[in-house]
Structure 1
Amino acid sequence: MTVILFLVGVVLLVFGADLLVRGAASLAASMGVSSLIIGLTVVAVGTSSPEIAVSLQAAFQGQGAITLGNIVGSNIANVMLILGVAAMFGPLPVDRQIFRRDLPVMIGASLLTLLLAFDRELSRVDGVIMLLGLLGYIWAIWPREETQQTSVSHHHHQQHWRGVVLQLAMVVGGLALLVLGANWLVDGAVAFASWFGVSELIIGLTIVAVGTSLPEIATSVIAGLRGERDIAVGNVIGSNILNLLLVLALTIVLSPQPIAVPVETVQLDLPVMVGAALVCLPIFFTRRMVSQREGSLLLVYYLSYTLYLILSASQNDELPLYNTVVGLVLVPLTVVLLVVRALRWLGEERRLRQMTDVAE
C-alpha cells in the first residue's frame, strides 16, 4: 500500500503541475496579462497554499513560531533547491521586470524580516509594517499598461467566459492535485525511511522539508519544460515575497501574542534566507538567466545547509571540520565562479558593442 501511495503521489504531482501551468498560461492570455504576472500572483499563491494553511492554523493555536520556521525554510528551499532543480532541465531566462522590480522586493522583504526579528520577537506592529509592504508591491505590479487592451477586448472576453471558467478550473484542479500528490508522496517517503531505520530527526530535516516545497518544484520544472519559463522563475520569486509579506505578516497580526524568535533563527536561518536572496542578484544580472552551472551551485548550497542542520541537530563531532571546509572551499569557490561569470558577460557585452559600432 505504501508503494502504491508513493507512486500515485508522484503521478498526481506531475499531472497537477502540468494542469496548473497550462491553465495559468491560458488564463494569462485570456485576461490580457503576461504569464509573468500570473506566475508572481496566482501560481505563487497556489503553490504556497500548504504554507498558508499551516501558518494560519498555527496562528489561531498560538503556535506562531512554527510558522516562522516553516516560511524561512520554504524560502531557502525555493531559491536554492527549486531554482537549482529547474535549471538542471534547461537554463531559466530571467525577465527584465523580475530583475528590476521583483528581485529587489524579495531582497528587501528578507532584510526587513531579519531586522524586525533582531529583538527576538515579531509583534503586530511588525506584521502591519510587512502588510503595508505587500500593498506597495501589489500597487507596483498592477498591469496599468494592459488596462486599455483589456477594456477594448472586454466584449470578446465575455463571449469566451466558458473558456475562462475552464482555465480557472484547470488552475484550481491542478493546485488540488499538487497538494494531494505532495502529501501522499511525503507520507510514502516517510514510511520508506522508517522501514530502513532512518531516524525521525533525519526524516524531518530532509524528506518533510523537501516535501513542503514539492508543489513549487513540480510547477517550476514543468513550466520550464513547457517553455513557460516566466512562470517558473516568477513562481519562486512571487512565493518568497508572499510567504513573508502575506503569510508571515497575517500570522503575526492574528497571533494572540507576539511570536518569539529563537536565537538560532536570528543567527543562522534568517541570514541564510537573506544570503539566498542576495545570491540571485549576480546570477540574474549576468546574461539574465540561471544557467545549469549556477543551478548546480545553488543545489550544492542547499545540500550543504541541510547537512549542517543534520550535523548540528545530532551534535556530531565533525561539525567544526565541516564548517572549516565550507568556509575555506565552498564560499571562495562561489566567489570565483560568480566573478568569472561576470567577466565573461562583460566581455560579451564589449564584443557586442564593437560589432554594433562596426555595423554602423
Structure 2
Amino acid sequence: MLWAWLAMAAGLGLLYVGAEGLVRGSASLAGRLGLTPLVIGLTVVAFGTSMPELAVSVEAALNDRSAIALGNVVGSNIGNIGLILALAAMVTPLAVQAKVLRVDTPLVIAVSVLLLILVSDGHLGRIEGTALVVGVLAYVAFSLWSARRESAVVHAEFAEGVPAPSGSVGRDILFVVVGLAVLVVGARMLVQGAITVAEAAGLSDAVIGLTIVAIGTSLPELAASVVAAAKGEGDIAVGNVLGSNLFNILGILGITSLIQPLESGGVGPTDLWVMVGFAVLLAPLMRTGWRIGRWEGVMLLLLYVSYLALVISGKG
C-alpha cells in the first residue's frame, strides 16, 4: 500500500514537471512562429496545462478504468473553479478585462451542459469524441480571431505572463519531447498507484478520479493561476481556468473517447450537475464588475470542500 501512495506522489510530481517543460517549450516555439502572447496564453498554455489530464485519462481508459478517466476531467473542471480560481481570488481580487474571456464563460457553461447530455446514457463513444474534437478546433480558431480585437492593455498583460522565446529551437523541441515523455511516465505511475489505493481502501474508481487524481492533475493550473493572481494578472488567472475547462471537455475527453470509448461508471448525474453548477455560478460572479473578489473566492472554496465531503462520504 505504501508503494502505491509513493507511486502516486511520484507520478504527480512527474506530471507537474512534464507539463512545465511542455508548456515552456511549446510556448517558445509558438512565439517563434509569430503567435502573439495572448493567443499563446489562451491556447498553447491552456492546452499545455491540461496535458496531465490527457495523459492520465488516456492511460486510465486503456486500463479499462473509464471512471478514473471521466472522473479526472469532471473533477478537474469542478476543482479548477472551486479550488484554483477560489485560491487565486483569495490571493488578490481578479479583474477581468479581456473580452474573449467574457465569451469563454458562457462557452464553458455550454460545453459543460453538452457533456452532461452526451454522458446521460452512461457512454461516451467515438462519434461523440469526434464532435468534441471538432469543437476544440473551432474554439482555437475562435480564439485566434478574437485575439486580434483585444486592447493593447490585455496584450501587454499576457506578454508579461507568457514565457517568451529563449535559447535555441533545438532546446524548445527538447523541452517538448522530454516533457511529453515525463508526462507519460507520470500518468502511468499515478494511475497504477490510484488503482491499487482504490482497491485496497475500498474506494471506487470514480471517487479516486474525482478527488485525488483530479486535484493532482490540476497542479499546473493551480501554480499558473495563483502566480498570475499574485502578479495582478487577473486575465491570465481566469483565462487559465476557463481555457483548461474547455480543453478538458472538448480536447481531453474528445481524444480519449476516440482512442477508447468510455463508460461513466460511478461518475453520476450529481457530479455532472455539480460541474455545470460551478460553471453557471461563474456567470453572475464575473458580471459583478467583471471582478472576482476574495469573499467570492471563499464561497467557491467552501462549496468545493462540501462537494468533496459529499463524494467521499457517499461513494466509498
Match of 2:287 among 273, 279, 285: 285
1:177-199 Cα deviation digits (max 9, x unpaired): x979x99xx9xxx9xxx9xxxx6
Q: What is the distance in 2 between the residues matched to 1:168 and 1:65?
A: 35
How far did residue 212 of structure 1 move? 2.5
For 1:286, give the aligned amino acid.
T
Unpaired segments of 5 or more residues in structure 2? 150-163
| Residues 173 and 251 (structure 1), Cα distance of their counterparts in 2 relative to 1, 3 Å cut | closer
Which residue of 1 is the match for residue 251 of structure 2?
246
How far did residue 231 of structure 1 move? 2.2
For 1:240, give the aligned amino acid.
N
Q: Is 2:268 the partner of 1:260? A: no
Question: CA contact under 8 A between 1:33 and 1:143: conserved in structure 2?
Answer: no
For 1:296-311, list aligned pairs within 5 A: 296-311=298-313
How far did residue 90 of structure 1 move? 0.4
Q: Is 2:144 the partner of 1:142? A: yes
For 1:130-169, list aligned pairs within 5 A: 130-143=132-145, 146=148, 165=169, 168=172
Q: Is 2:99 the partner of 1:97? A: yes
| Residues 136 and 29 (structure 1), Cα distance of their counterparts in 2 relative to 1, 3 Å cut | closer
Q: What is the distance in 1 between the residues matched to 2:66 and 2:60?
A: 6
Q: Is 2:117 the partner of 1:112? A: no
Q: Is 2:217 the partner of 1:215? A: no
Match of 2:124 among 122, 125, 130: 122
How far did residue 139 of structure 1 move? 1.8
Q: What is the distance in 2 between the residues matched to 1:260 and 1:9?
A: 24
Question: CA contact under 8 A between 1:65 and 1:260: conserved in structure 2?
Answer: yes
Identical pairs, percent = 43
Q: What is the distance in 2 between the residues matched to 1:134 and 1:260?
A: 22
Q: What is the distance in 1 between the residues matched to 2:177 and 2:235?
A: 21
1:256-290 Cα deviation digits (max 9, x unpaired): xx42223x534211101111111111111221121
Q: What is the distance in 2 between the residues matched to 1:135 and 1:19?
A: 23
Question: CA contact under 8 A between 1:27 and 1:167: conserved in structure 2?
Answer: no
For 1:60-71, list aligned pairs within 5 A: 60-71=62-73
How far did residue 216 of structure 1 move? 1.3
Q: What is the distance in 2 between the residues matched to 1:213 and 1:302?
A: 14
| Residues 9 and 259 (structure 1), Cα distance of their counterparts in 2 relative to 1, 3 Å cut | closer
1:309-359 Cα deviation digits (max 9, x unpaired): 122135xxxxxxxxxxxxxxxxxxxxxxxxxxxxxxxxxxxxxxxxxxxxx
Unpaired segments of 5 or more residues in structure 1? 148-159, 315-360
Q: What is the distance in 2 between the residues matched to 1:29 and 1:170?
A: 16
For 1:43-62, list aligned pairs within 5 A: 43-62=45-64
Question: CA contact under 8 A between 1:55 and 1:67: conserved in structure 2?
Answer: yes
Question: CA contact under 8 A between 1:19 and 1:171: conserved in structure 2?
Answer: yes
Question: CA contact under 8 A between 1:116 and 1:122: conserved in structure 2?
Answer: yes
For 1:304-343, list aligned pairs within 5 A: 304-314=306-316
Question: CA contact under 8 A between 1:26 and 1:167: conserved in structure 2?
Answer: no
| Residues 26 and 52 (structure 1), Cα distance of their counterparts in 2 relative to 1, 3 Å cut | closer
SS at 1:56 equivalent: helix
Which residue of 2 is the match for residue 334 of structure 1?
none
TM-score (norm 1): 0.64
Q: Is 2:78 the partner of 1:73? A: no
How far did residue 210 of structure 1 move? 2.6
Question: CA contact under 8 A between 1:21 and 1:219: conserved in structure 2?
Answer: no
CA root-mean-square deviation? 4.3
Question: CA contact under 8 A between 1:55 and 1:66: conserved in structure 2?
Answer: yes
Question: CA contact under 8 A between 1:33 and 1:146: conserved in structure 2?
Answer: no
Question: CA contact under 8 A between 1:114 and 1:266: conserved in structure 2?
Answer: no
Which residue of 2 is the match for residue 228 of structure 1?
233
Q: What is the distance in 2 between the residues matched to 1:57 and 1:179?
A: 11
| Residues 169 and 131 (structure 1), Cα distance of their counterparts in 2 relative to 1, 3 Å cut | closer
Which residue of 2 is the match for residue 326 of structure 1?
none
Q: What is the distance in 2 between the residues matched to 1:52 and 1:18?
A: 15
Q: What is the distance in 2 between the residues matched to 1:42 and 1:58?
A: 24
Count of residues in correspondence between the two structures: 286
Larger radius of gyration: 1
Q: What is the distance in 1 between the residues matched to 2:31 and 2:230?
A: 19
For 1:259, give the aligned amino acid.
L
How far did residue 19 of structure 1 move? 9.1
